[in-house]
A and B are shown apart, each in its own frame.
Chain A
Amino acid sequence: MDDKQLETLLKDSLQHSVGAQAHVLDGLENRVLEKLDHPVTETAARPWALWFPRVKLTFAFAGTALAALLIGVFIGGYFPMPFNTPAYQGVTFIVAMPEANQVAVVGDFNGWQPASLSRDSNGIWSLKVDLSPGRYEYAFVVDGVAWRPDPRADEYVKSYGFTNSVKYVNAEGETS
């Protein structure tokens, strides 16, 4: 078979294939346009897509999210904001009581409501609390009943005949 014959054979074959599939091309343009107007939903293939669609980070999204976060946090007042609250310092209450089963701290910074300390393997109990600058009276409550002073307190005062511990906090944190 020479080149001429081969070319003719290929042309005939292609024309035959296209002719057999011609019905597929009917209304192709309309179908493409329709798909563009109504994109295929992703939820059928990926049910979670309803909640976590693929997101293109846009200025609109970023701006909306940031504004909502700022307004929500500000109005909600759930977190201290640097421009309307005093600086808070992480203050650690720590005491060695290996024999205790439970240790909590009560004081004027938490309305004298017990806040539990965590115990390490050596029987050291500790809790970090965010406090604004000031003077705080407190005590440890051991096993839910006994109120004990803090051996590391800045000072001690008498209150209702009992001994309260005192901790001072300044802008840099604990003073001792």
Chain B
Amino acid sequence: MILRSIRLDRAGKYWGTLCAICLAVAVATTLVWAATEQDVENLIDSMSISNAGKVTVKNGFLQGIQAGRLSADGAFDFLQRVATSGADLADRETVLVSIASTLLADIPVDMLVNKVVEGLARGLAMDVIAEEVAERRQTLTEVRTLLTQKGISAAKFSQTGVDAATTDIATVLENHVRSGQSPSGGTLLDQTLTTLDRDGRVSDGLFQSLSNSLSEGELAGIANNIASRI
């Protein structure tokens, strides 16, 4: 009825038809190339990992997508890169289950995903990558626990901000220990706050809250745990 009431002249009909065709092509192209949650599920189903592993990986990645921590397209690309890496099947499953379990624990996985992709780009063996992922996952878990104890959560601030802070703090502690510096050097809090301040995803309010609640001793405790693991 509405369409019938719109009267287009000849040029209007022509360009309207042309635009409709372009729109249809754009939508069709998107539907063809952008992976969906269903594509992610299908890819996981087709992977050569155990049934228990598939359940964990599927639940974890779908939860991550629904929570906005991963895009369906990004998850699909990542899973495909791991699946086609030619690495040992058990090592592949270890990596994927570790990341999925992290997502199920409501912890950000940017750092872990990036380390896997970097490791593959550097041509490293999957067992080396799996060790790195397992170690960093433990650090992320300890940092997230610390922030929760301080009352810093996605409910109070944004999930993006809290996830960024969790990743930044874990990254600072990992880098500090891996560069051979002492966990008890007394500089961890300064380094952490500098990094949080530079990261555009951490809001002023979240930064102030972290600045007021974090202590050198707590960060050194996590850094000591890292040193004992690597």
A residues with CB within 8 A of B = 53-56, 58, 60-61, 64-65, 67-69, 71-73, 75-78, 106, 108, 111-113, 132-135, 137, 147, 154, 157-160, 162, 164, 168-171, 175
Main DSSP-derived SS at the A contact region: mixed
B residues with CB within 8 A of A = 6-12, 14-16, 19-20, 22-23, 26-27, 29-30, 34, 77, 81, 110, 114-115, 117-122, 124, 128, 132, 164, 168, 171, 175, 178-179, 195, 198-201
B175 adjacent to A157 (CB under 8 Å): yes
Q: Using known A-B contacts A76-B27, A134-B201, determine if residue A68 contacts B117 with beta carbons closer than 8 Å.
A: no
A65 adjacent to B15 (CB under 8 Å): yes
Query: CB-nearest residue of chain A relative to B12?
Result: A60
A108 adjacent to B200 (CB under 8 Å): no
Main DSSP-derived SS at the B contact region: helix
A55 adjacent to B15 (CB under 8 Å): yes
Chain A residues within 8 Å of B20, by CB: 68
- Give A76 to B201 CA distance when docked, in angstroms: 26
Query: CB-nearest residue of chain A relative to B194?
Result: A155
A158 adjacent to B200 (CB under 8 Å): no
Chain B residues within 8 Å of A112, by CB: 117-118, 120-121
B122 adjacent to A147 (CB under 8 Å): yes
Contacts A/B (CB < 8 Å), 28 sampled: A58-B9, A60-B6, A60-B12, A61-B12, A61-B15, A67-B19, A72-B22, A75-B26, A75-B27, A76-B26, A106-B121, A108-B117, A112-B120, A112-B121, A132-B200, A133-B201, A135-B168, A135-B198, A157-B175, A157-B179, A159-B118, A160-B115, A160-B118, A160-B124, A162-B122, A164-B118, A168-B199, A170-B198
